[in-house]
Structure 1
């Protein structure tokens, strides 16, 4: 009996993953609500030439990455939610494949990589999220690709520099999607400091990792500069990515916080008095911190 080649098995699993996600979209239609509705509305506004706005007012409340991604798709294929949901199938497959490659790189065991792919291909939450226009769907493949590019690889100096620059740019896009990504290079390189079974002297290795980290963060910063410059022009304040940091801190740590999800009217009642004294969105962010 002939054995199915490894590449064929991977292709079959990816095909099954795509089929399950498409079947979910067909079998479980849903409206875009809450965060997903917000992202959808911003993307439609961008497609209409209104920029990143809320009811015509310029905003940076949530990171621009995912609405901009959706807006680009809508400009090409129309503003139906189906466009974004179909893109989610592709993003989901990219995430699965990148997780497979990352597992292969980290563990150097094809079986571990295959099990990683298998688990993600049939993971119920991953399948269900396909029908939601949420930033996580774009963030996960960007994050995985960034981490994969960060991991050391034996390359000529020029190609190594190019790889690190690509890692920084990729994680810059991830930061514009979900700002937590800005911490990923530090986390990866700290982990690499404690990596065992490395032949290079510790001092030389630390210097190399520090240099790599610097290159990555320079590329990441260059990716953020256009958006940060836009925010400076619009708000007259230095807003690197978004203005919802103060809001999140206040909702999570204010005297009214319960450790559970709060109803929107409760949040509005607490936020409104402070926000009313602010001169704008960036100032409200500062006050709520």
Structure 2
């Protein structure tokens, strides 16, 4: 009887302790969920900072805010600086479990981002849209083309309306980093833009350019007219004849273009990571340092 009584007391004590731990875990999750929105970016940034400190040299995309980091590819052109391999930000675990703030309902309406790009170029101008990995270096290359009158970097082909950079980096929205080029067809042919597009990246790597891995870095030509589509497909056929690996470039109609955050625009011309401005002068042939 004494053994049985002692066993009952131990059992009840353990059950009481486990019940207390369970309550504390629930309280902790509620607290974390309440502060997850404000702490998510900081925790991701610190994680990236630690991993980059331990990794071998490669390229890093440093942004003005500590909260934004991502992998950025090595240039196909000559490089002058070592690089640091960094993982793109991961999705917040608490949000995956259903805690934290949720996206506004209208942002989840995929019919908006899947609609056509209805922006209008300047009179006498035309739009072209290309995805070739990190949009910083690609934009500077197009800025230098005579006849190109304007360039913008942004996101397109995704499923979420009005995405932020962090949304695109999460790998869940299917957006592609692109450069939208406005050009004067009298001074710049679409075919010349295609030639530059092929020269700026490796079109045979799926969802990857160098160390940059993710669907946002995929190769893509997004056309505005039937003439552009025809030229793009003929150009791809010609390029394929010169390569011994299959080209994975997608050729699709241009969809709604979401302009990226202002600090991304003309990033390398402004100074890039190290504050060393790179020339966007027409015809400039200086090697492009992809991260500044």
TM-score category of the 2 structures, normalised to the smaller one = under 0.3
Query: How high is the TM-score relative to the length of structure 1?
Result: 0.22
Q: State the structure with bigger RCO (CA 8 A, min sep 6), 1 or 2.
A: 2
- Which protein shows a greater Rg? 2
Would you tell me which structure has more helix in proportion to its own residues? 1
TM-score (norm 2): 0.21
Structure having the larger proportion of residues in strand: 2
